[in-house]
């Protein structure tokens, strides 16, 4: 570890199970703590990041607490991803009035920045945030940073461009008091994207409802008899569009149903996967069918597509059981570890330039 990093401390707001933090850990940064209201994330965050999990709402975090966590660090870095549900396109309807209550989490992030004045900030969120004119939360966030003297950079990142095997677009913001800052150049192009096959192609074959004997996380949910018939009739790369009418849902037979062509779909080996969501192990929730096997993807497959290392701990082995629903939610909510690495490497290059 360089002397610069020895004197640098990271705090992760809205840390979840630590996808963003782990990217910094892999980049040799010290993560002092992760803060999140979801207590189910504590085991995984602490077991993988050699850091402290603080179960607390960001509303209740004070300037004093953040400064105590930073301690005597010469370079203080505050990062985080405010939960993105408020920024879903479904939130906005024609004629809906502005309601800043929805944006409080990001405003609280801005509050902590103003109160603690870290040297560097990174904020990751849904790409739609930059387009919302009905709610000025992002514009307000940018303005507050600039008023505090930060150099601000942001970009909508296409995750496959950085070696992440998943079609996922995310807004990444970097801000520094040291000088101009930006993301490192793209590492991949369409010619060498990391694919579904690269990520999960070597995992053992399993059936729906089955655990892999050597890997408990390699578990696929049990399909109903009807959904089993449906996936058996779904060709490679296909979806419900390829079924006979007796297998289709009523909503799919309507004209409006045609706007969801990927539902009940199979992934393709030679392409990145669709975006992992909190329901990514459910066959009917998107294009989450395995390319060849008659099942939805497993928890392990979802975690690898989110670029979590194969040895990342998601549950305490002392516990006899775990909730697949909870772990799927944790995986879907996470920042891909590889994206965390890209952000960490960008900051490292910035520090080497100015410190």
Catalytic residue numbers? Answer: 84
Cβ-contact 52, 34 below 8 angstroms: yes
Provide the angle, in degrees to the nearest 10, between the axes of the packed helices 104-116 and 63-70: 60
Question: How far is 54 from 42, CA to CA, in rounded Å?
Answer: 8
Question: How far is 33 from 328, CA to CA, in rounded Å?
Answer: 23
Give the distance from CA 10 to its chain's centroid: 18
Question: How far is 218 from 13, CA to CA, in rounded Å?
Answer: 29
Cβ-contact 303, 217 below 8 angstroms: yes
Question: How far is 263 from 199, CA to CA, in rounded Å?
Answer: 22
Contacts (Cβ under 8 Å, ≥6 apart) of 88: 126, 128
| b/e map 193-223, b = 16+ CB within 10 Å | bbbbeebbeebeebebeeebeeeebbbbbeb
* Phi, psi for residue 277 in degrees, rounded to 5: -120, 180
Burial class (CB in 10 A: 0-12, 13-18, 19+), 123: buried
Tokens, residue 79: 């990062």
Query: Vertex 109, ends 106 and 110: CA angle to 5°?
Result: 95
Query: Vertex 48, ends 323 and 123: CA angle to 5°?
Result: 95
Question: How far is 290 from 296, CA to CA, in rounded Å?
Answer: 5
Question: How far is 275 from 271, CA to CA, in rounded Å?
Answer: 12
- Please report which residue ranges of the chain form alpha helices under DSSP H: 3-6, 19-26, 42-49, 63-70, 104-116, 137-147, 196-200, 225-232, 250-253, 299-305, 324-333, 337-354
């Amino acid at each position: 570890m360089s002397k610069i990093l020895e004197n640098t401390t990271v705090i992760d707001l809205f840390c979840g199970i630590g996808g963003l933090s782990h990217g910094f850990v892999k980049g040799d940064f010290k993560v002092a703590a992760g803060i999140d209201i979801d207590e189910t994330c504590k085991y995984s965050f602490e077991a993988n990041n050699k850091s402290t999990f603080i179960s607390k709402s960001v509303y209740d975090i004070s300037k004093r607490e953040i400064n105590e966590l930073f301690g005597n660090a010469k370079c203080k870095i505050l990062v985080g991803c405010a939960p993105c549900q408020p920024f879903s396109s479904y939130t906005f309807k024609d004629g809906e009035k502005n309601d800043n209550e929805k944006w409080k989490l990001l405003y609280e992030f801005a509050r902590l920045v103003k109160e603690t004045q870290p040297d560097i900030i990174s904020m990751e969120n849904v790409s739609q945030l930059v387009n919302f004119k009905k709610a000025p939360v992002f514009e307000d966030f940018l303005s507050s940073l600039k008023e505090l003297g930060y150099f601000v950079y942001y970009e909508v990142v296409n995750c496959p461009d950085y070696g992440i095997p998943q079609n996922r677009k995310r807004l990444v913001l970097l801000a520094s008091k040291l000088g101009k800052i930006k993301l490192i150049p793209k590492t991949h192009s369409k010619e060498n994207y990391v694919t579904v096959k690269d990520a999960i192609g070597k995992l053992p074959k399993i059936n729906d409802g089955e655990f892999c004997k050597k890997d408990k996380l390699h578990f696929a949910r049990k399909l109903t008899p009807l959904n089993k018939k449906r996936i058996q009739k779904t060709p490679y790369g296909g979806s419900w569009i390829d079924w006979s009418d007796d297998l289709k849902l009523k909503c799919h037979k309507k004209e409006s149903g045609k706007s969801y062509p990927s539902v009940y779909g199979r992934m393709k080996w030679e392409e990145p996967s669709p975006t992992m969501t909190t329901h990514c192990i459910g066959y009917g929730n998107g294009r989450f069918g395995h390319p060849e096997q008659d099942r939805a993807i497993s928890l392990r497959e979802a975690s690898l597509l989110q670029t979590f290392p194969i040895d990342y701990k998601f549950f305490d082995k002392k516990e006899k059981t775990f909730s697949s629903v909870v772990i799927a939610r944790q995986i879907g909510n996470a920042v891909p570890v590889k994206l965390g690495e890209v952000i960490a490497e960008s900051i490292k290059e910035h520090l080497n330039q100015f410190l």
